[in-house]
Structure 1
Amino acid sequence: MEHGCGIEELHRYLSVQNRRPIHLIPMPFPERHLFGLWLKMDDFDVIAYEKAASQSHKEHIIAHELAHIAFQHRGSVNFDRGDAGKLFADVEPGVVQSMLMRSRYSDDEEQEAETMASLILARATKRWLEPAWGVPEEAAEVVARIESGVGKPDQG
């Protein structure tokens, strides 16, 4: 990959390299400690990121999640079935747990992704332009489940 590329080039490169689309999905995360997550589905990847974050923070969140993809991190936290069921009530708990296992990482993986995100952004020659958002058809069901699971800020 060319020296000094930006988020868009890395996003495109990883999609081509892994032969699977990576969908970037902005959404509200009511949990203030969660700003983004990567879900590896059967045929594509989803990176959900905090919709209300500043532009530079969105870039960092996406770079961090792209780093997890680039390093092929697998995650290391175990969830019990009750936790999985609370997040996605209408989805088979085993499927939720499998997805979440890929979105929780060891401290070493988090540090590696965070360092890579910082390096990516330090060398980026152009800013990421957030596209007008439309949910890709193949990701619509999983996006609806994420929104249902994490809730929406205006829900009480």
Structure 2
Amino acid sequence: MEHQLDDIIAIFNQCFEQEYNTKLVKGGEEPLYVPANENCPYHAIYFARGFYSSALHEISHWLVAGKERRKLEDFGYWYEPDGRSAERQREFEKVEVKPQAIEWILATAAGFRYFASSDNLNGNPGDTQPFKQAVYEQVKIYAEKGLPKRAETLRNALAIFYGTENRINLANFDVTKI
């Protein structure tokens, strides 16, 4: 199945544009979240380079962000570019567990391949297996306790659109393949 950018944009915008005044927008080189301001009347999630996987990743950060964080550019998160030390990489991974668990769930609902991202191409990410395991453990928590409301709304819409199983089935998640 080929995944079209127009599809993920339409699905996201259909789910959230009216209630949350938020749109998914194909962006440039770097992803960016910009709250509504004098130049743009809606909150914009820009995903990088027209990649479907980038759209899912940036959406996942929006889905994790609470109401106050959604008022801040890039949700107020610190970002240290590629080349992070092993210690800084572990800090980075701690804040990525929940978004990447949601990303994996959304990707599965869309029938799309998920790869855990250490986002440290020019640095030494070190042993990524504990991070991948933490993401999987968070998927298990979401499977047991349910997703947050907005994440469940999108997961359901993706499953319906792509004709995939409309639940979080742990049999579809294999930590050794991410």
Structures share a fold, TM > 0.5?
no
Structure richer in helix, relative to its length? 2
The answer to which structure, 1 or 2, has the higher relative contact order (CA under 8 A, 6+ apart) is: 1
Normalising by the residue count of structure 2, what TM-score does the alignment of the two structures yield?
Answer: 0.38
Normalising by the residue count of structure 1, what TM-score does the alignment of the two structures yield?
Answer: 0.43
